[in-house]
Amino acid sequence: MNILLGQPFAASEKGKRKNNEDAVYPLPEVVSSEDSLFLVCDGVGGENKGEIASCLTCEMIPAFFRTFLIGEINSSFIQKSVQYVETCFDQYVTEHPEAIGMATTMAMLYVERGTVVIAHIGDSRVYQIREGHIIFQTEDHSLVNSWVKLGRITEEEARIHPQKNIILRAIQGKNHPTEVDVSFITDVKDGDIFFMCTDGVIESWRKKDLENLFAEPFSLEKIKDTLVEVCSENSRDNFSFYLIPVKNVQKKESLTENFLTFLYSFI
């Protein structure tokens, strides 16, 4: 099986904040359907620390992939890519002590043949949406989500809770190593949309509202514009996202089918 993407769309906006501590990869103005690696990061740390952390992650993860990825990807490789970023953070802080305390979330999507590999740290999310329904969603590494799992609050209460921004995992440095959650999605169909976003988007969109938006017969660009419009109006935080459409899922022909096709060519 081979997954072909359509044209992705992305946005990364400061919203009502003074500066944008989010970062995405590839940059929205250069992304194409040929890209296979996508990142959405939400930096934390105050001042410009978060901005540095998210930007470094969006620079170092692709560099690690380009340099070291040989053959099929696995969970261990992704964990090592995060450890590489942690080392880069330490090197940066050594040269710039004022950056101590910088950290970032990370949502990653990588397309490899017939599999979509999803990895995340913190509360930046990845959704798989099919015909207006969310069929897969990453699980936030956050305080409020731990309460949801315990049944103390609902998902909607977590979305607007005063402590919703407290995350339990983040990329920081080798002194604070973190674990990345990895999922391998093989149930992929034509027309599926993978939606990656920071918590600034979730602040403005309930799950049902997102499903309603993706159920509309809108172009992906229209969906992008609607997301930006609503987040600009309602989000107090930076907001960033990626929309990645599946154009076509090509199934590999069996040896028998190939042989029959070969014979048919002589008739």
Q: Which domains does the chain have, with CATH numbers?
A: 2-265 (3.60.40.10)
For residue 4, the cross-strand partners are 248
Residue 150 is predicted with a pLDDT of 95
Return the structure tokens found at 257.
Answer: 């089918």
Do residues 161 and 145 touch, judged by C-beta distance below 8 A?
no
H or E element in which residue 266 lies:
none
Query: Higher model confidence: residue 6 or residue 256?
Result: 6
- Tell whether the model's pLDDT for residue 254 goes beyond 60: no
Quick: pLDDT tens for 163-221: 988 999 999 999 999 999 999 999 999 999 999 999 999 999 999 999 999 999 999 99
Quick: pLDDT tens for 38-60: 999 999 976 678 999 999 999 99
- Tell whether the model's pLDDT for residue 73 goes beyond 80: yes
Quick: pLDDT tens for 235-251: 999 999 999 999 999 98
Return the structure tokens found at 172.
Answer: 């920081």
Burial of 52 from C-beta contacts in 10 A (0-12 / 13-18 / 19+): buried
- Our CA dihedral for 16, 21, 26, 32, rounded to 10 degrees, sits at -10
The model's confidence at residue 256, banded by pLDDT at 50, 70 and 90, is very low
Quick: pLDDT tens for 86-122: 999 999 999 999 999 999 999 999 999 999 999 999 9
Residue 83 is predicted with a pLDDT of 98
The span from the CA of 55 to the CA of 75, in Å, is 23
DSSP 54: H
Residue 29 is predicted with a pLDDT of 97
Quick: pLDDT tens for 12-31: 999 999 999 999 999 999 99
Return the structure tokens found at 147.
Answer: 């309460």
The residue type at 12: S
